[in-house]
Each structure stands twice: as C-alpha cells, then as structure tokens.
Structure 1
Amino acid sequence: MVVAWLQFLACMAVIAIAGPSLTRSAHAIARLSGMSQGWAGLILLATATSLPELYTGISSVALANAPNIAMGDALGSCLFNLVMLVILDALSRGEPVWRRVDQGHILTAGFGVILIGFVGALVLVVREGFDFKIGHVSLYSPLLLLLYLIAMRAAFHYENRPRAVAKEPAAIVEGETLGRSIQQYVLAALVVAGAGAWLPFAGLDVAAAMGWQTSFVGTLFVAAATSIPELVVTIMALRLGSADMAIGNLLGSNLFAILVIAIDDLAYGHGSLFAAVSPAHAVTAFAGSIMAGILIVALLYRPGNRFFGVISWIGLALLAVYLLSAYTIYLHGH
C-alpha cells in the first residue's frame, strides 16, 4: 500500500513541478507570437495544462488496459476545473469575479454543457445496444471531434470580432525568445508525458491496495493529479489580475478533456471505450453539465452578494454539486 501511494504521489510531484514551466512557456509563446490573450488561454494554455490528461488517458487504454481510469480522469478533470471557480470566487477580493470577466465565456461554457452531457448520455445509451462502430472505434468519437472543432471555430470567430479596445504591446523579458520558449514548452511537455504515462499504473496499484474500484480512483485521485497545472494557472492568473485568462483556461481545458475521450476511444483496441466503462461515469458527466450551467447563470446574472463576505451562492452551488457527485462515485467505488 505504501509503495502504491508513493508512486502515485511521485507522479503528482513531477506534474506539479513541470506544470508551471509548461504554462509559463505557453504563455510566452502566445505573447511573442502575437496571439490574443483570450485565444491563447483557450487553445495554447488550455492544451498545455491538459497534456497530463491526454498522456494519462492514452497510457490507461493502450498500455494499462484501464478504461475506467481514462474516462474517470477526463470527466473528473472537468469537475475539478469547474470547482476551481470556487477558489476564484473566494480569493477574488473587492468586486466579485463574476462581474469582472467577459460574458463571452458563456459561449465556451455552453459548449461544455453540450459536450460533457453528450458523453454522459453515451455512457448510458451504448450499454443499451446503441453502439455503432467501425472496427473497434465508436462512431460517436468522430462526432465528439466534430463538436470540439465547431466549438473552437465559434470561439475563434467570437474572439476575433471587431472591438474598440486597443492592443497593448507585448512585454519584453530579457533573454526570452520565441525559439527558447518553444524549447521549454516541448521539454516540459515531455516531462509531463512521462509522469502522465506512469500515472494510470500507479492508480491501478492504489485501487488494488485500497480495494477501490478504478472508476472511483480515476475520477477523484487521478483527475486531481492531472488537474494540478490548471490549479497553478488559476492561482497565477488571479495574482496577475487576469480572471478572464483563468476562466478561459479552465473552460478550454474542459473542452479539450472531451477531445481526449475521443482520442482514448481511438487508442483503445478492445472495443468501444463507452461500452467498457462503468455507468457511474454518467453521474460525473451530468454533474459537470450542471456545474457549467451554474457558471452560465453566474455570468448572466452577475451576483454580488457573498456569505460571510467570502463566497457567493454561485460558489456554494458549484461546491455542493461537486461534493454530491464525489460522494456518489465514492459509494459506487466501494
């Protein structure tokens, strides 16, 4: 048991160390290449912080034969990303965070509701015989890929709509070049790849040592480990006064996590991934859709009241849904 937990914690530590470097280099690439901050946060930064989910998912299905860890990691990461909004809410002093961000995040959150909810429905309906495949690949995976591309195209057009805001010149950091930033990005990605590839094996060992089901371990523990870069970026962005970048990264990471599920299905050679996983993952997916819906309400309503001057009812609602879904998965995992 001790060895299993030490391996798992070692993977978490590596991701925690390499994650910030990956994020800083991705941010530098965006700044030096002239990308807009919103588009950079949604694409480059979200992709960078989601690499652990990608590597862990592929390793889970292709090497460890642990489809529940792959699905649990992707959907659990979506929940972790949304519950991080509670941290933004609590740490945001003065004006509430919901009043400080662009309402354009509603677009990304709306696509999140669609994609995450769709995966939850697939986990249930595929088990009832609605499983259409070409070879071992489910036909639903290309559809997920198409929806992801539509979401990115819509976000791109929204981000590039005409605005009356002048662009600020990029800050120049001594010794920082585009080539060096790309090298740092690739190096950090390789380190995260190694830790992410080993993570599902450590997760299987933890599940076996504790007598837990892999769906529970993947959704709560593996997802927590692979979500460390998002947590670091969220706190760093808030300290820099960029709540928009933080929320854009979290919502973009959720969309990328659904893309990871489609990639995992392609890499899973034993049949449809959706048919191989536990139906308990539908609970996680529907909870993620509800939490994304709560965020949409917050961005439209922009509440200003807080309980005890610390957290709003939006933050409490997000936390309640997360804890309820985690408890449900916990019961199923025992």
Structure 2
Amino acid sequence: MVLGGLLPSTPATNVLLIVVATAFIWLGSGWLEESADHLASYYGLPPIVQGTIIVALGSSFPEFASVVFAALAGVFDMGVGAVVGSAIFNILVIPALSGLATDGDLETSRLVVYKEAQFYMIAVATLVVTFALAVIYIPVADAPPLTGRITRPLAAIPLLLYGLYLFIQWQDVDEYDGEPAADDTGIAREWGLLALGLLVILVAVEQLVGSVEALGSTFGISTFLTGVTIVAAATSLPDLLVSVRSAKNGNSATSLGNVLGSNTFDLLVAIPVGVLIVGSVPVDFAVAVPMMGVLTLATVLLFTLLRTKLSLTRPEAYILLIAYVVFIVWVVAESAGITQLVRG
C-alpha cells in the first residue's frame, strides 16, 4: 500500500506516484534554491561559494533525503545508486544542457577546473577507499563476495574531508570583498520558504523511494540499478534547473560550481550521514565500484572538455549528452542480463 494505505500498491499506482513525487521535488527544490540564493546574496558570499555550497546544498537535498530514507527502509544500495547515478547525470547532462542554453560557449575558469574539479576527484577516490576499507576489515558473512559493512567510524572519513572542503571555501569567503545587503526586509520570509522547501522535499522523496522499491521488486530489478536510473533522474532535476538558469543569466561560475559542489556534497555527506543514522549498512563493492569507475570516466571527460580553452562549446555539449545515452543503454543492458560487467 502507498500513501499510508490510501492507495493499492500496483505498478500503475507506483508509476503515477513517482511522477507526482518528482513534481513536488521540483517544486520544493525551486523554493529551496530561490531562498538559498537570496540568503547567499544577502550575506555577501562570492559567486563560486554560492554555487559550490549554498546553491549546491539546496539542490542536493533530494539526493540526501533519498539516501536517508533508503537506509531507513533497508535498501541502502538504492540510496548509493541514486547518489552515483545523480552524480553521473550532473557531470554529463547538466553542463551539456547549460552549454546549449547559452548563446555562445559556456565559459569556465581556472578556479573551477583546478580547485573545484580536483577536489571533486579526491572526493570520488575517498569514497572508493571507504568502501574498500569496509570490505577488507568488516566483511559481511553469508553475503555476496566483496560485501562489506560501513560503520560510523568509516563514515567519518568522507565527512572529515568535507570539513576540509568547507574550510577551503571559508577561506575564500574571508578573502572576498563583497558587501552584505543592508536591507533585511523579507529575510524572515526567505528562511521560512527554505524550511517549507525542505519539508516538501522530505515528504516527496519518502514516497518516491517507497514507490521505486515496490516497482523494482515487482519487475525483479536490483535496488542499486533502480537508484542509478529512476531515483537519480528524479532527484537531479533541481540541479538541472539551477545550473541551466544560471548559465542563461551568464553566471557560468555558479552553473558549473553547482554541479561540482552538489556532487561533492552527495559523495562526502549524503552517503555517510545515511550510515550515521542507521548505525551501519552493507555495501556490495562489486556493484558500487564499477559504477564509481563510470563516474570517474565521466568526470575525466568533462574536465578534459572544460580545460580546452576553458570553455564548453556546443559540439562538446553534444559529446556529453551522447556519453550519457551510452551510459543509460549500458544500465538497461545490465538490467536485462545482456552484459554482466556489474557483479552481484
């Protein structure tokens, strides 16, 4: 049963609920991002920090909520899949559509390429190391090979790295000369809108995770793969909205900063906090790491294209979109048993 037993749990009902929940995630995220953007401007934060922390935290909240609810429901693999799938979507689709939304090329900067991008690569490597430590030191008995248990001490590793990331961004804020707004009219309303957006997202994501889990059970699809595809696409809509809008307004720093900051938050905070809430969770290294490998390849492709003349051209944007289509085809092939690169 869905919606607290008000509707029967049929495939048609679950598909309808996924669509409705996605719409509410988009609505709540719009409120969240609008208020976060206004608050960042009011407190005088630099554009790169607005993109990588304030706006990214707001647009990443759906992924964060999906990990928490998946962990509480006992399907942590779905939450991990949602984060990894969302990260791949963010890396390939969002910069591509942002570039196509502008009149010319999507300009970037050395600050984005050399600081944000490199720190993001460190975040990917840190999460893989955390998974590996779980398999080596806390293997799960009576489970598929290469299954380890992530505990709270292990979850602290990526969280500590995110603390370093916040410290680096704080240094940027400390050195920034921007002045905060003097007029505080409407600030209370912005904080209220932020809280309302968080509440709407929480309710919508809880229903989304439940419906996707039910559909996966009905059709025999693994929770990790449903997370990589359905949940990831639904929770990535806010990131897409923010980045495309920023690119159309000529603010490429916020557009690309949101993508990298959102992914950094998802990998270093969303997954570890899910572990902290439930205490410990099993992770299938054989399933998670191939997907992290795909994420690494997608990241290398994006950074290579961004580094050429420090801009993303329209042909390069289409290359990113083609790469995402190839990824989706591969995921479908894995689900159908045509390919077996993902073990477990």
Partner of 1:102: 109
- Return the letter of the residue paired with 2:45: M
Partner of 2:201: 192
Question: Shift of the alpha carbon at 1:295?
Answer: 3.0
Partner of 1:267: 277
d(CA) in 2 for partners of 1:136, 1:89: 38
Partner of 1:50: 60
Equivalent residue runs for 1:55-66 within 5 Å: 55-62=65-72, 64-66=73-75
> Any idea what the Cα deviations from partners look like across 1:288-318, whole Å, max 9, x if unmatched?
2222233333343226795xxx422xx3453
> Is 1:250–2:264 an aligned residue pair?
no
Equivalent residue runs for 1:52-201 within 5 Å: 52-62=62-72, 64-83=73-92, 84-94=94-104, 96-97=105-106, 100-106=107-113, 107-123=115-131, 126-127=134-135, 129-131=136-138, 137-158=151-172, 160-161=174-175, 167=178, 177-201=186-210
Equivalent of residue 248 in structure 2, options 230, 239, 244: 239
> Any idea what the Cα deviations from partners look like across 1:190-220, whole Å, max 9, x if unmatched?
1111112222111101212333211111011
Distance 1:80 1:32, change over 3 A: same
Equivalent residue runs for 1:285-296 within 5 Å: 285-296=292-303
Count of aligned positions: 315
- Return the letter of the residue paired with 1:311: P
d(CA) in 2 for partners of 1:181, 1:225: 25
> Any idea what the Cα deviations from partners look like across 1:51-101, whole Å, max 9, x if unmatched?
111111111111x1111111011111111111211112222222x21xx22
Distance 1:251 1:303, change over 3 A: closer
d(CA) in 2 for partners of 1:333, 1:176: 53
Question: Shift of the alpha carbon at 1:43?
Answer: 1.2
Partner of 2:335: 333
- Return the letter of the residue paired with 1:116: V
Is the 1:215–1:333 contact (alpha carbons within 8 Å) kept by the matching residues of 2? no
Question: Shift of the alpha carbon at 1:34?
Answer: 1.9
Question: Shift of the alpha carbon at 1:13?
Answer: 1.0
d(CA) in 1 for partners of 2:74, 2:178: 48
Q: Secondary structure at the match of 1:276?
A: strand
Is the 1:121–1:282 contact (alpha carbons within 8 Å) kept by the matching residues of 2? no
Please report the TM-score for the alignment, with normalisation by the length of structure 1: 0.84
d(CA) in 2 for partners of 1:119, 1:181: 34
Distance 1:155 1:286, change over 3 A: farther
> Any idea what the Cα deviations from partners look like across 1:24-58, whole Å, max 9, x if unmatched?
11111111222222212211111111111111111
d(CA) in 2 for partners of 1:55, 1:181: 21
> Is 1:9–2:16 an aligned residue pair?
no
Is the 1:113–1:290 contact (alpha carbons within 8 Å) kept by the matching residues of 2? no
Using the aligned pairs only, state the percent identity: 21
Distance 1:161 1:65, change over 3 A: same
Please report the TM-score for the alignment, with normalisation by the length of structure 2: 0.82
Q: Which moved more, 1:51-60 or 1:280-289?
A: 280-289
Distance 1:5 1:176, change over 3 A: farther
> Structure 1: which 5+ residue stretches go unaligned?
none
> Is 1:202–2:202 an aligned residue pair?
no
Q: Which moved more, 1:199-208 or 1:292-301?
A: 292-301
- Return the letter of the residue paired with 1:111: F
Q: Secondary structure at the match of 1:65?
A: coil
> Is 1:217–2:226 an aligned residue pair?
yes
Distance 1:248 1:59, change over 3 A: same
